[in-house]
Chains A and B, each alone.
Chain A
Amino acid sequence: MAVAPLTETVLRMHGIQKSFLGVQVLHGIDLELRAGEVHALMGENGAGKSTLMKVLAGVYQADAGTIELAGREVAFAHPLQAQQAGVSTVFQEFNLLPERTVAENVFLGREPRRRGMVDADRMNADTAALLDDLGLSSIAPRRRVSTLSVAGQQIVEIVKALSYDARIISMDEPTAALAEEEVELLYGLVRMLRERGVAILYVSHRLKEIFDLSDRVTVLKDGALVDTVPTEDITPDELVRKMVGRPITSFFPDKLPETSLGDTRLRISGGGNEQLDGIDLEVRAGEIVTLAGLQGSGRTEIAHALFGVARFTRGTVEVDGKRVSPRSARQAVRAGLALVTEDRKAEGLALNQSVAANARLVLDAVLPRQSGRRAKQIPGILSSLELVSRGGDQEVRFLSGGNQQKVVLAKWLATDPAVIVLDEPTRGIDVGAKQKVYTLMRELSARGVAILMISSELQEVIGMADRIVVLRDGRIAGELPAGTDEEAVMQVATGQVTS
């Protein structure tokens, strides 16, 4: 933590209220940002963080309350007004044109002109200057945005924000899509902006980031302000308690006593395809194996290979000792596999369909004759997952991220899988739902299910694993036992050591 300088307050939001369709989601929130601070905004999903951010960004207009910028009251009717006043927002989903260049994106809608034509040279030079200023000269202004990594695209968003002379930048879960080493890059950028006196509102679910980066933290719960405290005066446990309103004794639940290691349920031998090579992997009944590695190291590719997306062209896969070679998700399900996909909205749910329809989709698709009978257990599964919904008829798009994930889990549990692959199962869900996912994993493993978990969050990779398999460049770089520290995992993942 840098010395928190006593600096001017650049933003003062007071008594902000907002309702949608008669449901009040913000109950009089107060928030102050100081120049040169990283101010974390925390809360479970549905606590009102995004809404508050969007009010600040001019996407939504507050029903009541005031916003003061540098002492002057403002009201943003439009995001552009906010941007011109020096308030920029980097949303989780980027607003970039993938087929245009970095410079074209940064200056979109206000390109420098010469004799009526876009002055491309000046635009590129200006962008290069902005990038240089941040020490990011490795990104060429003429490069097409679609060729950049996620982190690169995020940088473009931030550069775009800075080009408006932003005094306040809010970031919505900026690390959600980043791999571990890209996170460091972002941290560096955030710290640099802080030194320049920019106020940063930082929304994240990851406690570690909050403590690494922020100077103060504001906690929201159910649309109300819980507290704003200097980060150094609070412990992670206290922070979680403020968010959930109850103490969480141990974040990762212990293994259930009846859990015992059984026979091998999933065995991949010499698995390979265009992205993967020499994958030897075994998961036994009652075992939780976690796959760690950087973005693009082949973690998700293993899940996809099992589900026929880009299947193994070399090697063999066995489930419960039987050779299977799934060419499709359907065959994978038949073989006893289940896959909770990485991207819940794009790959996991039919958002306009009901909770009930989504929860029985795998049964309907793969076991149509039994689906009526087996769907009867779904209500029980949903209630054991503590799903909060208005009923089975509610469309899943109206559920929070955590509850949506529970529907995805229920859909797969209904098939009684031998092996369940969980790809980023806790991404973007609140602390309470995360806990539920971890508890569920322990229960499944006690029932003899083999679990393969893919995750970018090292804490859960280590916290839940019986064994940690680290991937690098499509190959297994090493295997580490339970209880390894984060550093050791990163060293293997980045290739500093081989184990």
Chain B
Amino acid sequence: MTTTAPEKKATRPGVAVAARLFGGGSATVFALLVLVFVAILFLNPSFFEPPSLMAFAKKAAPLVVLAVGQYLVIVCGELDLSVGSLVGAQVVIAAAVIDGQESRTVPVLLLMLAFGVLVGLVNGLVVTVLKVHSLIATLGMMLVLYGAIRLWTGGAPTGALSEGFRQVGREGIDMPVLRQLPWALLVAAAVVVVAVVFMRKPFGRTLVAAGDNEKAAAFAGVRVWWVRTIAFVLSSVLATLAGVLIGGYAGVTAQVGEGLEFTAITAVVLGGVVLGGGRGTVLAAMAGALTVEALFTLFNQLSLPSTIRPTVQGLIIVAAVAWAARERRRPFLPQS
């Protein structure tokens, strides 16, 4: 058992891959996901017919995208509370500027992207350069966006999204069996795949290292402020993408995006991604998002009112973090 090298893998490669995917305390979330699906199956077997599964995927896609964005920020040791407001702001801006005109779709998408990058940059630089705790910096951003949108629209969003804009969130590729393969599912899947690859690249590794031990990362030559700023930008860009999906799926209201930051954080911590950084995987965050969405579906099956959701989310956040902290919670240690 001496001198082992990173290349040495378990003899069965499948096991090693599975361990990598589900490792880091995230096996729990996959088990939970299966459990919730089993409960749904028990209550409503028709849920597992392909078309209704696709409908579930379409509904869950924006949360998966948001959870991946939130994952990037959490794994480097920060938190982004502004994504819900940003989703709302983007949808309202899109509706007002497009105003139902098809030809404006692409320019507006670019405008949204630019706005998303700007918001992310501001978040990132306020945290890294001005040294404002990310909880406060993004809380501020959340309030600023929330208030600005209400000030601008007077509480009632104007305009309308174009049909083209709404395609991605609402439509899909028609095909047999599934009836329709939603664009949203493809988008979410692409985001997850790109994020998984990204996290295995040098930049992704430095992001995790910065979240695990800022000082050690800095001594190793990581530009901690820069990688964190990029994480905030990516989070905002993904929130923008989620906004496109949600706008298409649900249309424009003044409430759109409200509370989504907490749902995304719930999803990520449920996936075993540890607040404070350095631990957890993209796939676990995705599984967390699917689990939360499945749980909401289960509540519908049980005819529970949707107003129960914040309470459940609150319980999940605390329970998931407590679960993650269990190994640090020994009886009593005078010195840790």
| Chain A contact residues, CB within 8 Å of chain B | 57, 59, 78-79, 89, 91-93, 95, 307, 328-330, 332-334, 339, 341, 346-366, 368, 371-372, 375, 378-380, 382-383, 386-393, 411
On chain A, the residues within 8 Å of B8 by CB distance are 379, 391-392
On chain A, the residues within 8 Å of B223 by CB distance are 328, 330, 365
What does the 1/0 interface line of B199-211 toward A look like (CB < 8 Å)?
0011101101100
Choose from B3, B20, B219, B278 the contact partner of A339 (Cβ within 8 Å). B219
Q: Within the assembled complex, what's the spacing in Å between the Cα atoms of A275 and B152?
A: 54
B2 interface residue (CB < 8 Å to A): yes
B216 interface residue (CB < 8 Å to A): yes
Q: Within the assembled complex, what's the spacing in Å between the Cα atoms of A391 and B2?
A: 9
In the bound complex, do residue B4 and residue A361 qualify as a contact, i.e. CB atoms below 8 Å apart? no
Choose from A59, A89, A359, A366 the contact partner of B6 (Cβ within 8 Å). A359
Choose from B1, B213, B279 the contact partner of A349 (Cβ within 8 Å). B213
In the bound complex, do residue A353 and residue B2 qualify as a contact, i.e. CB atoms below 8 Å apart? no
Choose from A78, A332, A348, A382 the contact partner of B3 (Cβ within 8 Å). A382
In the bound complex, do residue A392 and residue B7 qualify as a contact, i.e. CB atoms below 8 Å apart? yes
In the bound complex, do residue A357 and residue B3 qualify as a contact, i.e. CB atoms below 8 Å apart? no
Stretch from B157-165, B253-261, B327-335 forming part of the interface with A: B327-335
On chain A, the residues within 8 Å of B209 by CB distance are 350, 353, 357-358, 361, 364-365
Q: Can you list 12 A-B contacts (CB < 8 A)?
A: A79-B334, A328-B223, A341-B216, A346-B213, A350-B278, A364-B205, A365-B209, A375-B6, A382-B3, A386-B3, A387-B2, A391-B6
Choose from B1, B205, B218, B335 the contact partner of A357 (Cβ within 8 Å). B205
- Say yes or no: A386-B221 contact (C-beta < 8 A), given A347-B215, A357-B209: no
On chain A, the residues within 8 Å of B189 by CB distance are none
In the bound complex, do residue B332 and residue A79 qualify as a contact, i.e. CB atoms below 8 Å apart? yes
On chain A, the residues within 8 Å of B216 by CB distance are 341, 346-350, 361
In the bound complex, do residue B334 and residue A59 qualify as a contact, i.e. CB atoms below 8 Å apart? yes
In the bound complex, do residue B219 and residue A348 qualify as a contact, i.e. CB atoms below 8 Å apart? yes
Q: Within the assembled complex, what's the spacing in Å between the Cα atoms of A59 and B208?
A: 33
B222 interface residue (CB < 8 Å to A): yes
Choose from B2, B7, B203, B213 the contact partner of A350 (Cβ within 8 Å). B213
Q: Within the assembled complex, what's the spacing in Å between the Cα atoms of A366 and B201?
A: 13
- Say yes or no: A350-B3 contact (C-beta < 8 A), given A365-B222, A368-B203: no
Residue among A359, A379, A386 with the most chain B CB within 10 A?
A379
- Say yes or no: A388-B333 contact (C-beta < 8 A), given A329-B220, A339-B219, A350-B208: no
- Say yes or no: A78-B332 contact (C-beta < 8 A), given A361-B222, A383-B5, A391-B4: yes
Residue among B5, B7, B217, B219 with the most chain A CB within 10 A?
B219
The majority secondary structure among interface residues of chain B is: loop
- In the complex, which residue of chain A has the Cβ closest to the Cβ of B203? A368
In the bound complex, do residue B213 and residue A351 qualify as a contact, i.e. CB atoms below 8 Å apart? yes
On chain A, the residues within 8 Å of B202 by CB distance are 363-365, 368, 371-372
Q: Within the assembled complex, what's the spacing in Å between the Cα atoms of A350 and B278?
A: 8
What does the 1/0 interface line of B1-33 toward A look like (CB < 8 Å)?
111111111000000000110000000000000
In the bound complex, do residue B219 and residue A347 qualify as a contact, i.e. CB atoms below 8 Å apart? yes
In the bound complex, do residue A353 and residue B278 qualify as a contact, i.e. CB atoms below 8 Å apart? yes
In the bound complex, do residue B2 and residue A392 qualify as a contact, i.e. CB atoms below 8 Å apart? no
On chain A, the residues within 8 Å of B7 by CB distance are 379, 392
On chain B, the residues within 8 Å of A356 by CB distance are 6
Near A by CB (< 8 A), chain B positions 213-237 give 213, 215-223
- In the complex, which residue of chain B has the Cβ closest to the Cβ of A340? B219
In this complex, how many residues of chain B approach chain A with their Cβ under 8 Å: the count is 35
- In the complex, which residue of chain A has the Cβ closest to the Cβ of B280? A352
Number of A-B residue pairs, CB cutoff 8 Å, is 136
On chain A, the residues within 8 Å of B171 by CB distance are none
Chain B nearest Cβ from A60, distance in angstroms: 9
Residue among A57, A93, A358 with the most chain B CB within 10 A?
A358
In the bound complex, do residue A389 and residue B4 qualify as a contact, i.e. CB atoms below 8 Å apart? yes
In the bound complex, do residue A364 and residue B206 qualify as a contact, i.e. CB atoms below 8 Å apart? yes
On chain B, the residues within 8 Å of A346 by CB distance are 213, 215-216
In the bound complex, do residue B217 and residue A361 qualify as a contact, i.e. CB atoms below 8 Å apart? yes
Q: Can you name 17 extra interface pairs (CB under 8 A) apart from A89-B334, A333-B220, A382-B3?
A: A79-B334, A95-B335, A339-B219, A346-B215, A347-B216, A353-B208, A353-B209, A353-B278, A357-B208, A360-B205, A368-B201, A371-B202, A378-B5, A383-B3, A383-B4, A387-B2, A391-B6
B212 interface residue (CB < 8 Å to A): yes
| Chain B contact residues, CB within 8 Å of chain A | 1-9, 19-20, 201-203, 205-206, 208-209, 212-213, 215-223, 278-279, 332-335
On chain B, the residues within 8 Å of A89 by CB distance are 334
Q: Within the assembled complex, what's the spacing in Å between the Cα atoms of A372 and B6?
A: 13
Q: Within the assembled complex, what's the spacing in Å between the Cα atoms of A396 and B49?
A: 46
- In the complex, which residue of chain B has the Cβ closest to the Cβ of A307? B219
Q: Within the assembled complex, what's the spacing in Å between the Cα atoms of A363 and B203?
A: 11
- In the complex, which residue of chain B has the Cβ closest to the Cβ of A408? B216
- Say yes or no: A411-B3 contact (C-beta < 8 A), given A59-B334, A350-B278, A352-B278: no
- In the complex, which residue of chain B has the Cβ closest to the Cβ of A172? B335
Residue among A79, A341, A347 with the most chain B CB within 10 A?
A347
- In the complex, which residue of chain A has the Cβ closest to the Cβ of B335? A91
In the bound complex, do residue A353 and residue B212 qualify as a contact, i.e. CB atoms below 8 Å apart? yes
On chain B, the residues within 8 Å of A363 by CB distance are 202
In the bound complex, do residue A330 and residue B334 qualify as a contact, i.e. CB atoms below 8 Å apart? no
- In the complex, which residue of chain A has the Cβ closest to the Cβ of B278? A352
Chain B nearest Cβ from A309, distance in angstroms: 8
Choose from A79, A365, A388 the contact partner of B221 (Cβ within 8 Å). A365
- Say yes or no: A352-B203 contact (C-beta < 8 A), given A79-B332, A361-B220, A365-B217: no
Residue among B7, B218, B279, B334 with the most chain A CB within 10 A?
B334
Chain B nearest Cβ from A439, distance in angstroms: 15
Chain A nearest Cβ from B28, distance in angstroms: 17
- In the complex, which residue of chain B has the Cβ closest to the Cβ of A360? B205
- In the complex, which residue of chain B has the Cβ closest to the Cβ of A363? B202
Q: Within the assembled complex, what's the spacing in Å between the Cα atoms of A358 and B219?
A: 12
Q: Within the assembled complex, what's the spacing in Å between the Cα atoms of A329 and B225?
A: 13
- In the complex, which residue of chain A has the Cβ closest to the Cβ of B212? A350
Chain B nearest Cβ from A394, distance in angstroms: 8
On chain A, the residues within 8 Å of B215 by CB distance are 346-347
In the bound complex, do residue A387 and residue B208 qualify as a contact, i.e. CB atoms below 8 Å apart? no
Residue among A329, A352, A355, A392 with the most chain B CB within 10 A?
A352
In the bound complex, do residue B219 and residue A91 qualify as a contact, i.e. CB atoms below 8 Å apart? no
Q: Within the assembled complex, what's the spacing in Å between the Cα atoms of A297 and B198?
A: 44
In the bound complex, do residue A352 and residue B6 qualify as a contact, i.e. CB atoms below 8 Å apart? no
Q: Within the assembled complex, what's the spacing in Å between the Cα atoms of A349 and B214?
A: 10
Residue among B2, B3, B5, B332 with the most chain A CB within 10 A?
B5
On chain A, the residues within 8 Å of B332 by CB distance are 78-79
Q: Within the assembled complex, what's the spacing in Å between the Cα atoms of A59 and B331?
A: 9
In the bound complex, do residue A351 and residue B212 qualify as a contact, i.e. CB atoms below 8 Å apart? yes
- In the complex, which residue of chain B has the Cβ closest to the Cβ of A334? B221
